[in-house]
A and B are shown apart, each in its own frame.
Chain A
Amino acid sequence: MNNKYIFGGFIIVVFLGLMAYLFTQTNISYENNFTEIMKTDKTIKATGAWVKTKNYHIDKEKNLFSFYMIDDEGKEMKVVYKGTIPNNFESATSVVVTGKYQKGIFHASDILTKCPSKYEEEFQETKNS
């Protein structure tokens, strides 16, 4: 009778332990301060806006897509993504890139774009400022 619970408990502990271990191994945190991102070489999800005035660049031969991102404090960072420009990129207001910062460039493995579904409100903000 008690053996059953000991066995069950053991399985649960092993399972939770494994999951917690893998969680710490695969965990990626969000960061919107580029100064912090540049300090570490961990994989990070960087959130910010892409700098439209600097345009983006597509290198077809090497299959690279690069652009500049800016954070709230005005810090800029060059992002290079292996792959093509994502759908919706031109109209995106904010971007989330997953990757590592190395030697002055953020190497992204994934780009997620957020589109201005509520551009009226944003427009209002720019008018007020």
Chain B
Amino acid sequence: MIGNILITLALLASVFTVVMYYLTSKGYENTLKPARIGYHSMAILVIAASAFLLHAILTHQYQFKYVFNYSNGDLPTGLLMSTFYAGQEGSFMLWLLFTAIVGLVLLEYTSKRKNLEPQVMMVFTLAASFLLLMVSPILKNPFTFIWTEPTFVDIKNLNQAFLSLPFVRNFIFEDPGGGQTFVKVGPELYSALTANGIEISNFIVKGKGLNPLLQNFWMQIHPPILFVGFAMSTVPFAFAFSALMKNYYNDWVKQSLPWIVAATGILGLAIMLGGYWAYGVLGWGGYWAWDPVENSSLVPWIIGVAAIHTMLVQKRTQEKEGLGRFGKTNLILSIMMYLLVLYSTFLTRSGILGDSSVHSFVDPGMTVYLLLVIFVGSFALLGFGAIAYRWKDLNKFFNFEENLLSRELALFTGSVALIASAIIILVGTSAPIFGQSVELRFYNELNLPIGIIIGLLNGFSLLLKWKATDGKSIFENSKFSIAATLISTLLIVFLGGVYEPVMIIFTLSSAFALFVNLEIAYKIIRGRKLFLGSYIAHVGIALFMLGVIATGGFTQEQQVDLAKGESTEVFGYQLTFTGYEPIENGKKYKFNVDINDGGSSYNVAPVMFVSDFNNSLMREPDILTKLTKDIYVSPVSYSEGSNEHNHGAQVTLIMGDTYDYKDAKITFKEFNFPQDAMNSMMGGGEFSIGTILSVEYQGESYLIEPKMVSINGQKNYVPAEVKEANLHVELLNLDASGKVIVVFSELEGNNMVTAPTKEILSIEASIKPFINLVWLGVLVMFIGFLMSALRRTKESRE
């Protein structure tokens, strides 16, 4: 209840704030104070609601459906806290929380700059209101009680003591497919429990837990940073809109720059952390798969970068000439950046990508879909409506003619290239809406030439002066860079074996960007250090592009079987599987592999385990990181090396099926699962299930019963045999739906050949050259963004 009250009050406060700020912008004077109070109350209520949710998670209050669905008492505290945003409801909550906090800083910032606060905060608070509506009790609310809609809860999550109560028994259901037993938790059961004085939090004692793919450090860090980036992307929109409201365009760029630079930098860092997560833990093998969810956060980032560059031109030109160049472009790009964040949310949250993305959420229901459409639609209407409304005024201002060799034009061309790239990715990512999709080739082939152009412009634009440059001085200034570029490209081409023409050009353009920026950075390092920001960011992107060329073009991959104790050569390394050991209390197994490069020896230990969460085999790669390359070892499978299976036949039998093995006719009759075993299973105790098979052999009939015995949840299988028929039957798995997997073989000792048993680990090994440059590049870029944001913050006060 408390959570919902807080959310509802926050929603009211935010609507009130929007209205008050609107009135203030219309010239009312006594409405500013209430507006500020309104915003602060909203922020405090949101923080309180978030704290309440976090508290519910940490204290395992499974009466909340959200807590039950995503968390579990077994999780360590760090991961438990990250279940806050493991689902739709909570991730909207996290976005809202960061929006509220960013708004506090923004309020402080705008209140110190004259005639800025009412318009900017009005739009910003409006965005917060939409998020509040999203988590409000009528939509994706994290505080919904579990019983409000009938939910089937696996009995293993319930307090076993209550299951024998007569009124509870009416709610127990058997799943015909999966062999699980559920209790239907709905309003009826809730009132029955309450009538008997049982609290629901005592009744449900375990949550479903967190998807094992999310159980790692990156889950704790990637989503929060991404949502900080999302929350900050609201700010450039608010600044652009407030400029349009006021019909005054001279100051907003200066004031917006630090925000858009910081937002873009943080968004970029978040995207890279997601990429590292996919590479290092999820075992995608690479850092980028053009997955729609990845793409949809990359597009606003690209637009942010484009906007920063044209905004610099406007800022630069308006100091002398009034409005400044690219005034319209900047308004549109600032608006687009946030719209694309919202569109990205729409794509990933509306269920529309259902079939096409690895990590899109499942169908959230019609109301959420509609609200998302309204959210995107309203802000699009607001933004573009305002531009259309002011279109005449915007066109009244100067027309510019640039010199061909001016930095203005080079920056503009760079932005155009970035926008083109954004359009390409957007088109490919949106295709699933129309039941289409594109091969990854679409992204790679179209973005490659753009990458080359951006690399060249990255270097070239810095050699140009504002307004106009004469050709000679460019050459004079860049002799060192050009020489260094040529030499290093030649080295890379010959030493690295880069022979594809496009790749050579791409290398050249990236190297050019790198050296021009390094040279300038070197020249000014003693001067004003804050000015280094943009050059550092550019060095970062150049390093990143070189890393992309190396890993994209020269990754080698191979699947190999490693027999225990024997070394196998893979890409010039000796790999030896030395055995496995349990980790994390036997929940997972790590498989030790020694890697020897002729001199030193290293160890990697990829992990495999069967997760309780989804009963699936999960694999985690391990990476040997060296300075110039990563050796990426991804586990595929492990076989004990018992050779029995090779001699026998593994078969799946459905009840009633008959299978012929050698001269025997084997029929799966039924399960032997007496009532007392069933009761024992319900109570979580020890039980066994038999599989009755009839064997006909030379006119004789035999009945055998291989068994599964479960002790403390640990399954053991007891084989059976028919001596007369020389038949050994091993049970591998059984399914309550009436399906068993068995292995038939001849009795041991009678086998003609007994091959020596070998434990074999199959792995996929790959060499990723210079992948460190990718991470390094993005980190360097992020540092550049931060420095630049600091510099622009200082300038915004001038």
Contact = CB atoms under 8 A, between A and B. Distances in A.
Interface residues of B, number: 48
B636 A55 contact: no
B283 A22 contact: no
Interface in B124-183: 150-152, 173, 175-177, 182
Interface in A81-129: 84-85, 87-91, 96, 112, 114-115, 117-120, 123-124, 126-127
B617 A19 contact: no
Contacts of A60: 561, 637, 762
B442 A23 contact: yes
Contacts of B438: 23, 26-28
Contact of B442 (A22, A47, A85): A22
Nearest to A28: B437
Contacts of B652: 53-55
Contacts of B764: 84
Q: How would you classify the secondary structure of chain A's contact residues: helix, strand, loop or mixed?
A: mixed
A38 interface: no
A127 B739 contact: no
A19 B561 CA distance: 43
A120 B152 contact: yes
A10 interface: no
Interface of A: 1, 15, 18-19, 22-23, 25-30, 43, 45, 47, 53-55, 58, 60, 63, 84-85, 87-91, 96, 112, 114-115, 117-120, 123-124, 126-127
Contacts of B358: 112
A26 B436 CA distance: 10
B757 interface: no
A19 B637 contact: no
B764 to A, nearest CB: 8
Contact of B436 (A19, A27, A43): A27
Contacts of B283: 87
Contact of B420 (A15, A53, A91): A15
B699 interface: no
B437 A29 contact: yes
Contact of B176 (A25, A85, A126): A126
A41 B778 CA distance: 42
A27 B616 contact: no
A26 B213 CA distance: 30
A87 B607 CA distance: 13
A91 B437 contact: no
Contacts, number: 101
21 contacts: A15-B420, A18-B446, A19-B423, A19-B424, A23-B442, A28-B439, A29-B435, A29-B437, A53-B739, A55-B652, A60-B637, A63-B559, A84-B636, A84-B764, A87-B283, A87-B617, A91-B614, A112-B355, A120-B152, A123-B175, A123-B177
B654 interface: yes
A26 B355 contact: no
Interface string B651-662: 010100000000
Contacts of A18: 446
A90 B616 contact: yes
Q: Please give me the 9 A-B residue pairs with the lowest Cβ-Cβ distance, nearest first.
A: A26-B439, A26-B442, A91-B614, A120-B152, A84-B636, A26-B438, A90-B616, A55-B652, A88-B616
Contacts of B762: 60, 84
Given A60-B762, A96-B355, A91 B441 contact: no
B373 interface: no
A92 B561 CA distance: 27
Given A88-B614, A118-B362, 11 more contacts: A1-B401, A26-B441, A27-B436, A28-B438, A29-B436, A45-B437, A87-B617, A112-B356, A123-B173, A123-B177, A124-B150
B402 to A, nearest CB: 9
Contacts of A26: 438-439, 441-442
A117 B177 contact: no
Contacts of A47: 355
A27 B437 contact: yes
B427 A90 contact: no
A29 B435 CA distance: 6
Contacts of A91: 614-616
A81 to B, nearest CB: 13
A20 B354 CA distance: 25
Contacts of B439: 26, 28, 43
A118 B428 CA distance: 29
Nearest to A90: B616
Contacts of A19: 423-424, 427, 446
A22 B176 contact: no
A115 B615 CA distance: 11
Contacts of A115: 614
B152 A87 contact: no
Given A60-B762, A123-B175, A117 B362 contact: yes
Contacts of A30: 355-356, 432, 435-437
Contacts of B492: none
Contacts of A84: 636-637, 762, 764
Contacts of A29: 435-437
Contacts of B538: none
A22 B436 contact: no
Contacts of A54: 652
A120 B616 CA distance: 19
Given A26-B442, A87-B616, A90-B616, A124 B435 contact: no
B778 to A, nearest CB: 26
A86 to B, nearest CB: 9
Nearest to A87: B618
B739 A58 contact: no
A15 to B, nearest CB: 6
B192 interface: no
Given A114-B355, A120-B152, A90 B437 contact: no
B703 interface: no
A28 B440 CA distance: 11
B87 to A, nearest CB: 9
Interface in B432-478: 432, 435-439, 441-442, 445-446
